[in-house]
Structure 1
């Protein structure tokens, strides 16, 4: 299995943060079932006892990794504003800089099929806030009210996430790979036009 580079840490650094970064990469590489606490400890540059001291168990560590990822996403989301085209391009830019987040969600989907998502209520609130932004745009006459906001958000989420979740599919469909200049330029043009089409004249 291909491994990503170890997390470079300092014993005088923030051990909890270092462990979370290492655990994120381990869960992506190995999946929840395949990760052992010693894997995380080795990658972070600390001993296993310290990992257990901070997080108690692998399951709690996975929850902490997901929570940290969603907190970072919330900080980014709150800084994105403007009309729909600007918001779409802002979300797209944030997604491109956070591919590990999507890889982690893919691992969660594979490892916890049928189970209730970790911290489901908090994560639902995160999405509810974004859906509310679309609903507000509808109230302001800046989006068609014929588009139910929950399904509209789901459609936009798919459009913005596929390049990170399924880059091989995106390349087959578009002809250029996500990350290539041609793909990224084309996506910007599309998102701007898409936002304009959805916005009432």
Structure 2
């Protein structure tokens, strides 16, 4: 059997470690468990990572950091005026649903595995994304007719819908229909917050 390069071995160890951390959490996972699943000895793991904490950082935290940055870019990277408020909102929900559905286990491990770790990750990574979204909504309130509302309150609610839809699909073992779900949440957004004049068919 051909020996793996250092880069390939590191990638293999990260993949195995990620599975173990997702299954048992950071506290419940041992380096020995990861070594056994990877078919290597413990010493080899320590050639690539100094500690279990460093391995957790590389396997779980760093990918989530990249995803949180991606979410933040989605919240700030497109001007509503370029596409229209409805189209922008639909595309935004698609992006958020896609990220959540692809990474629900990673987010769950990070947010709920350890209380302080989860709080830190949420305040440093998720809150900036939610706040940036709320700021975008607030700066474009004149783009559509709506009832008075506070984006700081409604934004976490609608992000929560995306999270809930992704979580439900994950635990049911079904594929999330991102486009259809985004369309429904978009309709809830505009029909729920819009004025009767803007949506005359609404009762």
Q: Structure 1 length as normaliser, TM-score?
A: 0.68
CA deviations 1:54-103 (Å, max 9, x no partner) are 33222332233332222331353225745222201221122222233234
Is 1:23–1:40's contact at 8 Å kept on the other side of the alignment? yes
Call closer, same or farther: CA 1:192–1:68 in 2, change over 3 Å.
same
Q: RMSD between aligned alpha carbons? A: 3.5
How much has 1:14 moved relative to structure 2?
3.1
Q: Number of matched residues?
A: 179
Higher Cα Rg: structure 1 or 2? 2
1:147 & 1:58 partners in 2: Cα distance? 43
Call closer, same or farther: CA 1:168–1:73 in 2, change over 3 Å.
closer
2:90 & 2:157 partners in 1: Cα distance? 15
How much has 1:125 moved relative to structure 2?
4.2
SS at match of 2:117: coil
1:154 & 1:91 partners in 2: Cα distance? 12
After the TM superposition, which parts of structure 1 deviate over 4 Å for at least 4 consecutive aligned residues? 79-82, 142-145, 166-169, 198-201
SS at match of 1:188: helix
Call closer, same or farther: CA 1:79–1:14 in 2, change over 3 Å.
farther
Q: Structure 2 length as normaliser, TM-score?
A: 0.67
Q: Is the helix fraction higher in 1 or 2?
A: 2
Q: Could you tell me which of 68, 71, 84 is aligned with 2:65?
A: 71
Of the structure 1 ranges 90-99 and 158-167, higher mean CA displacement relative to structure 2 is found in 158-167
CA deviations 1:139-192 (Å, max 9, x no partner) are 12258773242x4332123211123434488x6xxxxx74266xx565233123
